[in-house]
Amino acid sequence: MAGIKDGAKRFWKFLNEDTWQSWLVSLVLAFLIIKFVFFPAMSLVTATPLPLVVIESCSMYHNTDFDNWWEQNEAWYKNRRIDKAEFEEFSFKNGLNKGDIILLWGRGDYNPGDVVVFQAGLRNPIIHRLVSENPLSTKGDNNAGQLAVEQDIDEEQVIGKSVARVPGLGWLKLIFFEGTRTEGERGFCR
Protein backbone atom coordinates (compact mmCIF):
# COMPACT_ATOMS: atom_id res chain seq x y z
CA MET A 1 0.00 0.00 0.00
CA ALA A 2 2.83 2.41 0.83
CA GLY A 3 4.43 1.68 -2.56
CA ILE A 4 1.22 2.65 -4.39
CA LYS A 5 0.91 5.82 -2.34
CA ASP A 6 4.54 6.78 -3.06
CA GLY A 7 4.09 6.02 -6.77
CA ALA A 8 0.96 8.18 -6.90
CA LYS A 9 2.81 11.06 -5.20
CA ARG A 10 5.70 10.80 -7.69
CA PHE A 11 3.26 10.69 -10.61
CA TRP A 12 1.40 13.76 -9.29
CA LYS A 13 4.73 15.59 -8.85
CA PHE A 14 5.67 14.63 -12.44
CA LEU A 15 2.37 16.03 -13.76
CA ASN A 16 3.08 19.34 -11.99
CA GLU A 17 6.52 19.70 -13.55
CA ASP A 18 6.98 22.34 -16.21
CA THR A 19 8.22 20.00 -18.97
CA TRP A 20 6.88 19.00 -22.38
CA GLN A 21 6.70 15.36 -21.21
CA SER A 22 4.44 16.17 -18.23
CA TRP A 23 2.34 18.43 -20.44
CA LEU A 24 1.91 15.63 -23.00
CA VAL A 25 0.98 13.05 -20.35
CA SER A 26 -1.51 15.54 -18.82
CA LEU A 27 -3.08 16.10 -22.23
CA VAL A 28 -3.44 12.35 -22.86
CA LEU A 29 -4.91 11.84 -19.38
CA ALA A 30 -7.42 14.66 -19.91
CA PHE A 31 -8.49 13.13 -23.23
CA LEU A 32 -8.91 9.67 -21.69
CA ILE A 33 -10.91 10.97 -18.73
CA ILE A 34 -13.21 13.03 -20.96
CA LYS A 35 -13.68 10.24 -23.51
CA PHE A 36 -14.06 7.25 -21.18
CA VAL A 37 -15.44 8.75 -17.95
CA PHE A 38 -17.07 12.16 -18.48
CA PHE A 39 -19.04 11.49 -21.69
CA PRO A 40 -20.26 8.01 -20.71
CA ALA A 41 -21.42 9.41 -17.35
CA MET A 42 -23.17 12.32 -19.14
CA SER A 43 -24.84 9.85 -21.54
CA LEU A 44 -26.10 7.79 -18.62
CA VAL A 45 -27.50 10.82 -16.77
CA THR A 46 -29.12 12.46 -19.83
CA ALA A 47 -30.35 9.21 -21.44
CA THR A 48 -28.93 10.13 -24.83
CA PRO A 49 -25.84 8.88 -26.67
CA LEU A 50 -24.99 12.47 -27.61
CA PRO A 51 -25.31 14.64 -24.46
CA LEU A 52 -23.41 17.66 -25.79
CA VAL A 53 -23.75 18.96 -29.34
CA VAL A 54 -22.00 21.84 -31.11
CA ILE A 55 -24.16 23.94 -33.45
CA GLU A 56 -22.28 23.70 -36.77
CA SER A 57 -24.54 25.69 -39.10
CA CYS A 58 -26.63 28.85 -39.21
CA SER A 59 -29.98 27.09 -39.64
CA MET A 60 -31.19 28.12 -36.16
CA TYR A 61 -29.68 31.64 -36.26
CA HIS A 62 -31.82 34.77 -35.84
CA ASN A 63 -30.16 37.71 -37.56
CA THR A 64 -32.28 40.31 -35.77
CA ASP A 65 -34.34 40.80 -32.60
CA PHE A 66 -37.34 38.54 -32.05
CA ASP A 67 -40.05 40.99 -33.23
CA ASN A 68 -38.31 41.66 -36.55
CA TRP A 69 -37.49 37.96 -36.98
CA TRP A 70 -41.14 37.07 -36.38
CA GLU A 71 -42.31 39.67 -38.89
CA GLN A 72 -40.08 38.07 -41.54
CA ASN A 73 -41.15 34.47 -40.73
CA GLU A 74 -44.70 34.88 -39.47
CA ALA A 75 -46.53 33.54 -42.55
CA TRP A 76 -44.81 30.14 -42.51
CA TYR A 77 -45.65 29.53 -38.84
CA LYS A 78 -49.19 30.90 -39.04
CA ASN A 79 -49.90 28.44 -41.89
CA ARG A 80 -49.08 25.71 -39.34
CA ARG A 81 -51.24 27.27 -36.61
CA ILE A 82 -48.32 28.62 -34.56
CA ASP A 83 -48.85 32.25 -33.54
CA LYS A 84 -46.40 34.76 -32.11
CA ALA A 85 -47.57 34.36 -28.51
CA GLU A 86 -47.09 30.60 -28.73
CA PHE A 87 -43.65 30.93 -30.34
CA GLU A 88 -42.58 33.36 -27.59
CA GLU A 89 -43.12 30.52 -25.09
CA PHE A 90 -40.84 28.15 -27.04
CA SER A 91 -37.41 27.31 -25.70
CA PHE A 92 -34.60 29.24 -27.40
CA LYS A 93 -37.15 31.58 -29.05
CA ASN A 94 -34.22 33.80 -30.13
CA GLY A 95 -32.55 30.93 -31.97
CA LEU A 96 -29.12 29.39 -31.59
CA ASN A 97 -25.80 30.55 -32.99
CA LYS A 98 -23.14 28.59 -34.80
CA GLY A 99 -20.56 27.63 -32.18
CA ASP A 100 -23.04 27.28 -29.33
CA ILE A 101 -22.99 24.02 -27.37
CA ILE A 102 -26.31 22.55 -26.33
CA LEU A 103 -27.03 19.98 -23.65
CA LEU A 104 -29.48 17.30 -24.76
CA TRP A 105 -32.01 15.42 -22.67
CA GLY A 106 -33.25 12.06 -23.95
CA ARG A 107 -36.11 11.50 -21.52
CA GLY A 108 -39.72 12.66 -21.80
CA ASP A 109 -42.04 13.77 -24.53
CA TYR A 110 -41.29 16.06 -27.44
CA ASN A 111 -43.56 19.06 -27.97
CA PRO A 112 -43.83 21.70 -30.68
CA GLY A 113 -41.25 24.40 -29.99
CA ASP A 114 -38.64 22.01 -28.57
CA VAL A 115 -35.26 22.23 -30.25
CA VAL A 116 -34.45 18.61 -31.05
CA VAL A 117 -31.49 16.77 -32.49
CA PHE A 118 -32.28 13.91 -34.85
CA GLN A 119 -30.39 11.61 -37.17
CA ALA A 120 -31.63 11.88 -40.73
CA GLY A 121 -29.18 9.55 -42.45
CA LEU A 122 -26.82 12.42 -43.14
CA ARG A 123 -23.27 12.60 -41.85
CA ASN A 124 -24.14 14.85 -38.90
CA PRO A 125 -27.37 15.00 -36.88
CA ILE A 126 -29.74 17.90 -37.56
CA ILE A 127 -30.60 20.46 -34.86
CA HIS A 128 -33.96 22.11 -35.59
CA ARG A 129 -37.19 23.19 -33.90
CA LEU A 130 -40.10 20.76 -33.66
CA VAL A 131 -43.09 22.33 -35.45
CA SER A 132 -45.47 19.37 -35.42
CA GLU A 133 -45.85 16.32 -33.22
CA ASN A 134 -48.19 14.22 -35.35
CA PRO A 135 -46.25 13.45 -37.44
CA LEU A 136 -42.98 14.70 -35.93
CA SER A 137 -41.53 17.39 -38.18
CA THR A 138 -39.00 20.17 -37.71
CA LYS A 139 -37.77 23.38 -39.31
CA GLY A 140 -34.62 25.44 -38.88
CA ASP A 141 -35.56 28.93 -37.66
CA ASN A 142 -33.28 30.48 -40.31
CA ASN A 143 -34.48 28.26 -43.17
CA ALA A 144 -37.11 29.48 -45.63
CA GLY A 145 -38.92 26.12 -45.51
CA GLN A 146 -38.57 22.53 -44.44
CA LEU A 147 -36.05 20.07 -45.78
CA ALA A 148 -37.44 16.74 -47.02
CA VAL A 149 -35.71 14.90 -44.15
CA GLU A 150 -37.53 17.11 -41.60
CA GLN A 151 -40.98 15.78 -42.38
CA ASP A 152 -42.47 12.63 -40.84
CA ILE A 153 -39.54 11.87 -38.50
CA ASP A 154 -39.63 8.56 -36.62
CA GLU A 155 -39.32 9.05 -32.86
CA GLU A 156 -36.39 6.57 -32.92
CA GLN A 157 -34.45 9.11 -35.02
CA VAL A 158 -34.66 11.74 -32.25
CA ILE A 159 -31.50 11.79 -30.14
CA GLY A 160 -32.82 14.29 -27.60
CA LYS A 161 -34.09 17.78 -26.98
CA SER A 162 -32.03 20.79 -26.03
CA VAL A 163 -32.37 21.90 -22.43
CA ALA A 164 -29.40 24.26 -21.97
CA ARG A 165 -27.00 26.31 -24.07
CA VAL A 166 -23.40 27.43 -23.64
CA PRO A 167 -22.83 30.32 -26.08
CA GLY A 168 -19.78 30.25 -28.36
CA LEU A 169 -17.71 27.57 -26.62
CA GLY A 170 -18.16 25.18 -29.55
CA TRP A 171 -15.83 27.32 -31.66
CA LEU A 172 -12.99 25.47 -29.89
CA LYS A 173 -14.03 22.47 -32.01
CA LEU A 174 -15.32 24.24 -35.13
CA ILE A 175 -12.12 26.17 -35.76
CA PHE A 176 -10.41 22.93 -36.78
CA PHE A 177 -13.05 22.13 -39.44
CA GLU A 178 -13.87 25.54 -40.89
CA GLY A 179 -11.23 25.21 -43.61
CA THR A 180 -12.93 22.07 -44.97
CA ARG A 181 -16.31 23.79 -45.40
CA THR A 182 -17.50 25.58 -48.52
CA GLU A 183 -16.94 29.34 -48.54
CA GLY A 184 -20.60 30.08 -47.81
CA GLU A 185 -20.60 27.81 -44.74
CA ARG A 186 -17.47 29.27 -43.12
CA GLY A 187 -17.34 31.80 -40.33
CA PHE A 188 -19.95 33.45 -38.20
CA CYS A 189 -23.62 33.65 -39.16
CA ARG A 190 -24.77 36.80 -40.90
pLDDT in tens, 48-69: 999 999 999 999 999 999 999 9
Quote the CA–CA distance of 118 and 112 in Å, as a whole number: 15
Residues 6+ apart with CB under 8 A from 101: 52, 53, 54, 55, 165, 166, 169, 170
User: Residue 122 pLDDT more than 70?
Assistant: no
pLDDT of amino acid 190: 77
Quote the CA–CA distance of 122 and 102 in Å, as a whole number: 20
Query: In which band, very low, low, confident or very high, does the pLDDT at 124 lie, cut at 50, 70 and 90?
Result: confident
If one compares 167 and 184, the residue with the highest pLDDT of the two is 167
Least confident of 25-34, 64-73, 121-130, 165-174: 121-130
pLDDT of amino acid 134: 85
49-185 CATH: 2.10.109.10
Query: In which band, very low, low, confident or very high, does the pLDDT at 151 lie, cut at 50, 70 and 90?
Result: confident
pLDDT tens-digit map of 62-107: 999 999 999 999 999 999 999 999 999 999 999 999 999 999 999 8
Quote the CA–CA distance of 65 and 22 in Å, as a whole number: 48
Mean pLDDT computed over 1-30: 89
Quote the CA–CA distance of 90 and 139 in Å, as a whole number: 14
If one compares 179 and 10, the residue with the highest pLDDT of the two is 10
pLDDT of amino acid 123: 72
If one compares 183 and 4, the residue with the highest pLDDT of the two is 4
